[in-house]
Amino acid sequence: MGNSSVITSGILAVSVPTITLQDAAITASLTGNVAASHVQAHFSRLLSLDDSAITTSANEGDGGSIHIVDGKGTILLDNSQISTSVQGVAGNGGDIHV
């Protein structure tokens, strides 16, 4: 049997031709000494964020990475952010790949 006190992070994945967020977020966030999940956003035409965010955050563990993968599409950011963060001193912020 596995150790029930061990928590592993996963992947939050979105894969569609067009991703449009308006006043919305795609977020992977965890508290405690646990790494945040990774976020993968795959699109082929358009990624449009308007007052929106794609983020990962952790309290003490490592922040999850963010992978933005496009098929030569367009990325539009209007008053929006793509970010990773760690609130405590023990973890590292995740990588962002665009």
- pLDDT for 3-48, tens place per residue? 444 455 688 899 999 999 999 999 888 877 777 789 999 999 999 9
**Contact 33/7 with Cβ under 8 angstroms?**
no
More confident residue, 1 or 41: 41
pLDDT at 1: 40
Query: What is the number of other CB atoms lying within 10 angstroms of the CB of residue 23?
Result: 8
Distance CA 6, CA 97 (A): 28
More confident residue, 38 or 60: 38
**Contact 56/63 with Cβ under 8 angstroms?**
yes
pTM: 0.83
Q: Dump pLDDT digits (tens) for 68-98.
A: 998 788 999 999 999 988 887 777 778 899 8
pLDDT at 60: 75
